[in-house]
Amino acid sequence: SQTIHQWPATLVQPVGSPLSLECTVEGTSNPNLYWYRQAAGRGLQLLFYSVGIGQISSEVPQNLSASRPQDRQFILSSKKLLLSDSGFYLCAWSVTRGNGYTFGSGTRLTVV
C-alpha cells in the first residue's frame, strides 16, 4: 500500500536561517506531489506541485522553493526564513492532479 512520510513534525527556526522539509512517498510510481501551507486560522494555500522529476510549478511568489530530486521525494526549502513563513506545512500526493489527495502528517514550523 502507499504511504507518505513527512518530517520533521515540529521545527523552531530563527529568522534568517535556512529550511529544508522533506516528503517521501512509498508504494507508487510517478506520483503528483504537492506542498501546502496552512497559516493559523486560515485555509490551505497551495505552494508548489510537481508532476515529475525536476518539474515544479509554483503557485504563489514567496520566500520558498521546492525541488524533486527523485521520483518519490519532494523537498521544500528556504535560504532565509521570515517570521511570515511560520505555519503548518503539508505534503500530499495523488495519482493525477484531479484525483483525491493523500496528505502527510504535517510539519509545524515556528520562525522566531
Partner 1 sequence: GEDVEQSLFLSVREGDSSVINCTYTDSSSTYLYWYKQEPGAGLQLLTYIFSNMDMKQDQRLTVLLNKKDKHLSLRIADTQTGDSAIYFCAESMSNTPLVFGKGTRLSVIA
**Least distance from C-beta 16 to partner 1, angstroms?**
27
CB nearer partner 1, residue 16 or residue 73: 73
**Least distance from C-beta 4 to partner 1, angstroms?**
9
CB nearer partner 1, residue 17 or residue 105: 105
C-beta atoms surrounding 88 within 10 Å: 16
The radius of gyration of the chain's CA atoms, rounded to the nearest angstrom, is: 13
**Least distance from C-beta 99 to partner 1, angstroms?**
7
| Alpha-carbon gap, residue 88 to 76, rounded angstroms | 13
| Alpha-carbon gap, residue 82 to 50, rounded angstroms | 24
Instruction: Name the pairing type of β-strands 10-13 and 107-111.
Output: parallel
User: Binding residues for partner 1, per CB under 8 A?
Assistant: 6, 34, 42-44, 46, 49, 59, 90, 92, 94, 96-106, 108
CB nearer partner 1, residue 18 or residue 27: 27
